[in-house]
Structure 1
Amino acid sequence: MKAKIMLSKRYPKLYQLFGAYLNQDSDLWGETIPEIVSCYRRDCPRESHLEMIHEIDSFISEHPDDLDSAFETDYGQDFDPELWGYTTASFLEELKRLLSD
């Protein structure tokens, strides 16, 4: 539980996305990552999108050599990018692109 509390404080927008949208109930929001992220974008203000982009950049820069394992540790219980056809890096880049549109 301690790790989840730290994530919610360190990366609150990512924590929200994975906790509410990209979890075992993600099919409620859509069948593809773009569809699901579109729901997030609709539900959250533009400022939140920009904050999440910043969080993604921070996460990537903090884990230049262990991005896959860090992502697995922090978000792997609820979400696996490979099941959606992504690598960790390509998923995070896609997320940034979708939030930037």
Structure 2
Amino acid sequence: MNSSELYPEMDHLFTTYFGQDFDLFGETVPEIVACYKKDGPYHYEKLLRELGAFRQEHPNDLDTAFKPFRRGFRPEGWGYTIASFLDEIQRILSE
């Protein structure tokens, strides 16, 4: 199985909301994630579970494992590491 099959909500978030046209959903990571949460009120809890499972599965190779999810948006360009970017997403979804 590939990453999009194992983690379909992560794939949806990163393909749609953090893809090439991410600026349509907001100008900051919190705005983009809030838009996702508003648009998919029944999906964000699944995304939280997927993010937790992904991080547990890749504790030592998070940057490498995240590469299939890069869709035009580079968290590093916004001052995030992959770990801090995922932390931010989880924090916002948990609010």
- Scaled by the length of structure 2, the TM-score of the pair is 0.91
Cα deviation for residue 78 of structure 1 reads 3.1
Gaps spanning 5+ residues in structure 2: where?
none
Give a deviation string over 1:40-67, Cα, whole Å, max 9, x none: 111102x311111110011111111111
Paired residue for 1:95?
89
Q: Name the % identity.
A: 48
Question: The residue matched to 2:43 in structure 1 has which SS?
Answer: helix
Q: How does 1:55-74 map to 2 (within 5 A)?
A: 55-72=50-67, 74=68
Q: Does structure 2 conserve the Cα–Cα contact (< 8 Å) formed by 1:22 and 1:79?
A: yes
* Partner AA of 2:93 in structure 1: L
Counterpart residue type for residue 94 of structure 1:
E
What is the CA–CA distance in structure 2 between the aligned matches of 1:95 and 1:76, rounded to whole Å? Answer: 15
**Which shows bigger deviation, 77-86 or 35-44?**
77-86
Partner residue of 1:85 out of 79, 83, 93: 79
Runs of 4+ in 1 over 6 A off after TM superposition: none
Could you tell me which runs of 5 or more consecutive residues in structure 1 were left unpaired when the two chains were aligned: none
